[in-house]
Structure 1
Amino acid sequence: MGGGGEDEYESLPTHSIPVHLAAGALAGAVEHCVMFPFDSVKTRMQSLCPCETKCPTPVHSLMSIVKREGWLRPLRGVNAVAAGSMPAHALYFTVYEKMKSFLTGNTAGHEHTLAYGASGVVATLIHDAVMNPAEVVKQRMQMAYSPYGSSLECARCVYNREGFAAFYRSYTTQLAMNVPFQAIHFMGYEFWQQVLNPEHKYDPKSHLIAGGLAGGLAAAVTTPMDCVKTVLNTQQAAEADPSNRRIFLKARYRYRGISDAVRTIYSQRGMAGFSCGLQARVIFQVPATALSWSVYELFKFMLSFEGGHSS
């Protein structure tokens, strides 16, 4: 990985789409799967009938789930999110790179902050269209006393009971959350790259730090909409007995849109209800986005480097 490789890396925005697709798919799998147990904790905390309300920290919540339901319980739904995250992130990073290249003319600098944000927004529209069904299945698998034996069973039951629209009921909420999330995320990442790695060479430490800082800030700011999304995806009622499998399998959707979910959260938990799971979400996002960017930049560099040697 000498000077020739670094020169190739600096010109990567013009590289072939397969490089970005492959690197993005690997980054997506790492981001969503490595810290998945804390994503399960976050979903439980935002659910309207959580069992971990008295746990002081996300780590205590995770231990409570493991003690009560077994070691594998925090991993339920990971196969659904893995299947969805790879194509979603492949498109996500590819669209981002191409839009960034188009809007900035392949130049870097603080003056392009809005271009980075706009590129992130466009990438998010594509990403969420692919990822939303996987999010619905994942969060229903993560619920306490989830009645579904597998992700496929969950998807089939949701479709039979609520129709195809159920997989996109939270799509507008997801966009309302992810558009600002990704705008902050990408602008933050590019800002910290300018500070830590102004020459924009391959630098693992700067990719790790910049990704973690950007992801943590974006996660904290957008937690209220994530709470709304969880309520729409899980369709739980606080008064229902979560251990009753028959109720779960027979009940149809309760919340049709953002306004229904917002009213329910506020009436049952007040304003504090919109910050539920904030700690777990930040704990999940900081290492997840740090790893995601690190893996993406690494494989982007490796694939480009190998392509340069083979040509």
Structure 2
Amino acid sequence: MTQDEVEYEALPENSPIFASLLAGAFAGVAEHAVMYPVDSIKTRMQILQPTPQAVYSGVINAASRISTTEGARTLWRGVNSVIVGAGPAHALHFATYEFAKDAFGGNKAGHHPLAAAGGGACATIAHDALMNPFDVIKQRMQVHGSVYRSIAECASKVYKAEGLRAFYISYPTTLTMTIPFQSIQFATYEYLRKVLNPSGNYDPMTHIMAGGVAGGVAAATTTPLDVAKTLLQTRGESKDIRIRNCNGLFEAWKLIYQRQGLAGFSKGLQPRILSHMPSTAICWSVYEYGKFLLTRESLDKQPIMT
């Protein structure tokens, strides 16, 4: 076998973790940073009891009103939190995924959706344990009227007022959402990638298309869980005593249903899909490109086998 016959999908045995860590870190930062303004709009649209100034009819309406009344920079408030957290969290995420997928038999020939889904589930448990506090800070800074000037100030004030629990009150709900989200996303992505590109050679368009569809499907499916997560992560900013004392997924769902009915569970669906489709496409594209480059560099240093 020559160097050209080695598929980049199966990373060289001497550097799988390093390649996955580095590629995953770049992918995570790219994913979150590019689509951050849409994520900010999604958070505001999911707030259970918004201020009158923060009630929007759609994504375009929200972007226009926020930009004109608060300044365009407001849409980027809190982005530093996800940039700081996304690198190491996604590095851990993809390294765990590659290890688990291989352990479950996902790198064998053919389609293995259960292996990909299982790898995605393992990856998200590790990722969310590290990322959850950063996500709480991000959403606290995204809400209308946020007074926090930096992520350090936000973290300090939230900790002093609500304790360490505030950063992990949503963790069980986050896992309840992200495990199916990542399982659906990874299984859909791996299936489409192999259907669109049976040869397994590096093909950017395949990763963009498969990643975009996978992200959109996973986002739409798990939106009701995301609405509950937003309520739990921003509860400390509410003046409503029931929201401030909400302690878990089912209590959050009950409150959402009482206040907004079934429609409340689809709040933020449009911006959630709009943000996840391109961000997931970007994430997978950057990740696969990183693997491709790192694998080529590794192979270039190895003697050619005939």
| 1:150 paired residue number | 150
Q: How far does residue 27 in structure 1 lie from its aligned partner after superposition?
A: 0.1
Q: Is the 8 A contact 1:162 1:252 kept in 2?
A: no
Deviations 1:6-60 (A, max 9, x none): 62414227443111100000000011110000000000000123344342x3122
How do 1:108-187 and structure 2 match up within 5 A?
108-110=109-111, 112-187=112-187
Q: Is residue 223 from structure 1 mapped to residue 223 from structure 2 by the alignment?
A: yes
Q: 1:236 to 1:39 in 2, by over 3 A?
A: same
| 1:53 paired residue number | 55
| 1:300 paired residue number | 291
Q: Is the 8 A contact 1:162 1:253 kept in 2?
A: no
Deviations 1:223-282 (A, max 9, x none): 000000000000067766xxxxxx9xxx99422222331122111111100100000000
Q: Is the 8 A contact 1:48 1:237 kept in 2?
A: no
Q: How far does residue 306 in structure 1 lie from its aligned partner after superposition?
A: 1.4
Query: Matched residues in 2 for 1:91 and 1:232: separation?
Result: 25
| 1:66 paired residue number | 67
How do 1:70-109 and structure 2 match up within 5 A?
70-104=71-105, 106-109=107-110
Q: Is the 8 A contact 1:13 1:101 kept in 2?
A: no
| 2:249 paired residue number | 258
Q: How far does residue 307 in structure 1 lie from its aligned partner after superposition?
A: 1.9
SS of alignment partner, residue 12 of structure 1: coil
Q: How far does residue 201 in structure 1 lie from its aligned partner after superposition?
A: 1.3
SS of alignment partner, residue 49 of structure 2: coil
Q: How far does residue 304 in structure 1 lie from its aligned partner after superposition?
A: 1.3
The count of corresponding residues between Structure 1 and Structure 2 is: 298
How do 1:191-210 and structure 2 match up within 5 A?
191-210=191-210
The alignment's TM-score, normalised by the length of structure 2, stands at 0.92
Amino-acid identity (%): 48
Q: Is the 8 A contact 2:28 2:283 kept in 1?
A: yes
Q: Is the 8 A contact 1:25 1:89 kept in 2?
A: yes
Q: Is the 8 A contact 2:82 2:134 kept in 1?
A: yes
Deviations 1:60-81 (A, max 9, x none): 2112111110010000110001
SS of alignment partner, residue 9 of structure 1: coil
Q: Is the 8 A contact 1:5 1:305 kept in 2?
A: no
Whichever residue aligns with residue 58 of structure 1, its letter is V
| 1:243 paired residue number | none
| 1:234 paired residue number | 234
Q: Which deviates further from its counterpart, 6-15 or 17-26?
A: 6-15
Q: Is residue 283 from structure 1 mapped to residue 274 from structure 2 by the alignment?
A: yes
Deviations 1:135-182 (A, max 9, x none): 100000000001211111110011101111110000000001001101
Q: 1:279 to 1:5 in 2, by over 3 A?
A: farther
Whichever residue aligns with residue 44 of structure 2, its letter is R
| 1:272 paired residue number | 263
Q: 1:307 to 1:278 in 2, by over 3 A?
A: same
Q: Is the 8 A contact 2:141 2:154 kept in 1?
A: yes
Q: Is the 8 A contact 1:45 1:276 kept in 2?
A: yes
Q: Is the 8 A contact 1:80 1:137 kept in 2?
A: yes
Q: Which deviates further from its counterpart, 194-203 or 225-234?
A: 194-203
Query: Matched residues in 2 for 1:6 and 1:167: separation?
Result: 47
Query: Matched residues in 2 for 1:41 and 1:228: separation?
Result: 16
Whichever residue aligns with residue 206 of structure 1, its letter is T
> C-alpha root-mean-square deviation of aligned residues, in Å?
2.0
Q: 1:220 to 1:6 in 2, by over 3 A?
A: farther
SS of alignment partner, residue 291 of structure 2: helix
Whichever residue aligns with residue 22 of structure 1, its letter is L
Deviations 1:177-216 (A, max 9, x none): 0011011000000110121011211110000000000000
| 2:31 paired residue number | 31
